């Protein structure tokens, strides 16, 4: 998905300016069932992918701190 032309055409951005749009595209793909995605901006995408997986209930929290007494 990373930096594909359709992303640039949709958001009118140059190739190196498409990170946010790529994150959105990958999030939708995961929500539709994708389990493997190929991206260039790994550092930016990993937290986004983990968050989507967490929202969907596919990934437990990395650290459980909420409401700990």
| Helix, strand, coil in percent for the chain, rounding step 5 | 55, 0, 45
Contact 49, 24 (CB under 8 A): no
- b vs e for 27-41, b when ≥16 Cβ sit within 10 Å of the residue's Cβ? bebbeeeeeeeebeb
Active-site residue, from 14, 35, 38, 65:
38
Residue 13 a catalytic site member = no
Q: Is residue 4 flagged as an active site residue?
A: yes
Residues identified as active-site: 4, 38
């Amino acid at each position: 998905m990373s930096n594909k032309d359709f992303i640039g055409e949709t958001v009118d951005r140059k190739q190196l300016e498409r990170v946010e749009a790529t994150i959105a595209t990958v999030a939708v793909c995961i929500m539709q069932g994708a389990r493997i995605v190929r991206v260039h901006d790994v550092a930016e995408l990993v937290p986004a992918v983990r968050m989507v997986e967490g929202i969907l209930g596919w990934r437990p929290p990395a650290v459980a701190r909420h409401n700990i007494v």
